[in-house]
A and B are shown apart, each in its own frame.
Chain A
Amino acid sequence: MIDVRNLTKRYGKARGIEDLTFTVDKGEILGFLGPNGAGKTTTMRIITGYLAATSGTVKVDGFDVFEDAMETRGKIGYLPENPPLYKEMTVRSYLQFVSELKGIPRSKRKAAIDLAVESAGIDTVCNRIISNLSRGYRQRVGLAQALLGAPEILILDEPTIGLDPRQIIEIRRLIQSLGEKHTIVLSSHILPEVSMICSRVLIINNGRLVASDTPSGLSRRLRGSGRIAVQVRGPADRVASVVRELPGVRSVSVETPAPETQEREVLLSVETDVSIDVRESLFAAMASHKWPIVEMKTIDMSLEDVFLKLTTEERLGDETEVAPGA
Chain B
Amino acid sequence: MRKMWSIFKREVASYFTSPMAYVMGAVFLLISGYFFSIILLATNSASLQGVLGNMAVVFLFIAPILTMRLLAEERKLGTDELLMTAPVSITSIVVGKYLAAVFTYLVYLAITLVYPAILTKYGSPDMGPIYSGYLGMLLFGAGCLAVGTFTSSLTDNQMVAGIIGFGLLLIFWVLGWSTDIVTGALGDTLTNLSLLKRFDDFQKGIIDLSSVFYYISFIFIFLFLAVRVVDSRRWSG
Contacts and interface: CB of A to CB of B under 8 A. Distances in A.
Please say whether chains A and B are actual partners in one complex: yes
Interface of A: 9, 11, 16, 42, 45, 48-52, 69-71, 73-74, 76, 78, 80, 82, 84-89, 97-98, 100-103, 145
A100 B3 contact: yes
B87 interface: yes
Contacts of A9: 237
B78 A101 contact: no
Given A9-B237, A88-B18, A103-B3, A98 B82 contact: yes
Interface in B135-172: none
Nearest to B84: A50
Contacts of B87: 69-71, 73-74, 101-103
B237 A101 contact: no
Nearest to A145: B82
A44 to B, nearest CB: 10
Contacts of A11: 236-237
B81 A84 contact: yes
Chain B interface SS verdict (over half): helix
Nearest to B18: A88
B79 A86 contact: yes
B10 A97 contact: yes
Nearest to A106: B2
A36 to B, nearest CB: 16
Contact of B84 (A49, A70, A88): A49
B85 interface: yes
A73 B86 contact: yes
A74 B78 CA distance: 20
Given A73-B85, A73-B86, A101 B235 contact: no
Given A73-B87, A101-B3, A103-B3, A52 B82 contact: no
16 contacts: A42-B237, A45-B81, A48-B85, A50-B234, A51-B234, A70-B87, A73-B87, A86-B77, A89-B10, A98-B82, A101-B3, A101-B7, A101-B82, A101-B86, A101-B87, A103-B3
